[in-house]
Amino acid sequence: QVQLVESGGGLVQAGGSLTLSCAASGRTFSNYVLAWFRQAPGKERQFVTAISSSGSTIRYADSVKGRFTISRDNAKSTAYLQMNYLEPEDTALYYCATRTTYIASTAAQYPNWGQGTQVTVSS
């Protein structure tokens, strides 16, 4: 397993931007697919985006496509989620997660999770 810690959440106005970070422990970060999920109160954990171990393949949920950008810096064992043009509907607890080999889009397919960081978008 790998230990993950998210940071960068906060309160932002609609239309604004925010960047989240996910710091991973261990020297094998580059071997893992990394994904971002989010969960709002009373709702299921929702896939946001994922990036392959090399960064060559990226997948976005339709709801964030064109607004969010995922990236990773394997030398720093850190991944990022750049969020632009934020909407109140983006308000949620955001989690990073990892798995091996292939990109997946359901929470059950990711065995490793961080503690989450809260993003709140106000009108």
Rounded-to-5 percentages of helix, strand, coil across the chain: 10, 50, 40
Contacts of 45 (CB under 8 A, 6+ apart): 37, 38, 39, 95, 107
Q: 59-101, pLDDT tens digit by residue?
A: 999 999 999 999 999 999 999 999 999 999 999 999 999 999 8
pLDDT, position 108: 96
End-to-end Cα spacing for the chain:
39
Band (pLDDT 50/70/90 cuts) for residue 27 is: low
What share of the chain has pLDDT > 70, as a percent? 98
pLDDT, position 112: 94
pLDDT, position 101: 85
